[in-house]
Amino acid sequence: MQIISLSDYQQFTAEKMKKNKIFQTERFFCDVYCFEPGQEQKGHVHGEQDKVYLVLEGQGTFKVGTEERVLGPGQGTMASAGEEHGVVNHTRARLRVLVFVAPNPS
């Protein structure tokens, strides 16, 4: 059994949002996305994958389809396959988001 601690997944980069892989199989993946202030994951679409975002730390603006909402710690949302989605860290603090995607797009 693999045991992890979410506190170990806090790598940020100045250039762009950092994806920190936790788990990955041929069926799904789980990452922690780390955003410095002002960084974003531009809107995009997965044709065959569903994506779940759960905020661990900070606040961000999450867009799914035509809706945009500010989410904070303990809150989450899901983008179904075919829905455009993205995240912006609109704050002056760091943002960490736990992300699940299934099936794995690789």
The residue to which tokens 């788990």 are assigned: 23
pLDDT value at residue 104: 83
Q: What is the pLDDT of residues 21-75, one digit of tens each?
A: 999 999 999 999 999 999 999 999 998 999 999 999 999 999 999 999 999 999 9
Mean pLDDT of 94-105: 94
pTM beyond 0.85, yes or no: yes
pLDDT value at residue 53: 98
Mean pLDDT of 78-101: 98
* Tokens standing for residue 12: 């940020």
Q: Amino acid identity, residue 70?
A: V
| 16-85+93-101 has CATH 2.60.120.10 classification | yes
- Under the banding of pLDDT at 50, 70 and 90, the label for residue 106 is low
pLDDT value at residue 13: 97
pLDDT value at residue 86: 98
The CA distance from 42 to 18, in Å, is 13
Ramachandran assignment for 82, one of left (phi > 0), alpha (psi -120 to 50 degrees), beta (any other): left
pLDDT value at residue 39: 98
The CA distance from 70 to 8, in Å, is 25
